[in-house]
Amino acid sequence: MDTKLTLKLEQTIIEKAKDYAKAHKTSLSQLIENYLLHITNEKGREEKITPLVKSLSGIIKLPKDFDIKKEYSDYLISKYK
């Protein structure tokens, strides 16, 4: 269901946004909706990996059949006994 939203923006920004939307054959509402959808989409977020973390990647070699969930579960059970 679409809902009306009122925004207060500088007139020059509104004009530029309308020109952009027109040039891309879309509405200003659709442009804003797509932007908000993009920035709130979890999959769209990309965490920056620091050089230190990158350098640590691949240090540990685990067997192919290693079950991380089981191992973590076993760890928590033994920790809180």
CA-CA distance, 36 to 44, in Å (whole number)?
Answer: 11
Residue 57: predicted pLDDT:
84
pTM over 0.75: no
| Tens-place pLDDT, residues 21-69 | 999 999 999 999 999 988 888 665 667 888 888 888 888 888 889 999 9
Domain extent listing, the chain: 9-45
Could you tell me the two tokens for 59? 């240090």
CA-CA distance, 76 to 29, in Å (whole number)?
Answer: 49
